[in-house]
A = this chain, B = another copy of it.
Amino acid sequence: MARTVGSHGPKTMEAIRKAGLKLIHEHGYEAMTLRQLAAEVGVQVGSLYNHISTKQDLLYDLIKTHMDALFAELAKVEAKTAGQGPVERLKAFIFFHVTYHILRKREVFIGASELRSLDPNHYEDIVGLRRQYEKRLMAILDDGRAQGLFQIPDIAVAAYGILAMLTGVCTWFRPSGRLSREDVAQVYCDMVLRGLVPDSQLSDTCSLR
């Protein structure tokens, strides 16, 4: 495709990453071939190996880079809300998570759906990071419950549910849609926070058993 004639040096690596992101998102890691990748970059297949050591390594590189960026951004948000109450911190977390997942939908999608294609060592590495990320949310939920603000029967289940809901955004969100990034974040923020407060009159009636 876009044959960047004479593209050299670090530019090529950047082009490989970008093209890899696109193609893995479109076809999946297993289905993407290095010939496709090379064509997209505008380079011969063999040349890829001046920049990556292995197809598997490219996948790990993309996912790891994404995870590192995710943590770096989360750290900024946490710094800004340090010392505030659980509600404020949860709001900040939700806004961050939703907007980040909309902006980086390809990285996020790959980081979740291609985990199984990582070889064992890389897999453990990334899954470890994902668990850390989940724990950052759990810590907020735990705080809120301890302060009597949230009613949460099981912290982990709640966290998994919230993350799944928020992350789902990168599957269906279209920039051209009715709602903006912030609108969506706001809608989910409301829904989640209401879902955690104890005094809703409907809650205790919810049983089919």
List chain A positions with a Cβ less than 8 A from chain B.
26-28, 30-31, 87, 91-92, 95, 113, 116-117, 153-154, 157-158, 160-169, 171-172, 178-179, 182-184, 186-197, 199-203, 205-209
Contact = CB atoms under 8 A, between A and B. Distances in A.
Q: How many copies does the complex hold?
A: 4
A155 to B, nearest CB: 11
Interface of A is mostly: helix
Nearest to A167: B164
B208 A92 contact: yes
B161 A165 contact: yes
A116 B164 CA distance: 20
Contacts of A166: 161
A54 to B, nearest CB: 16
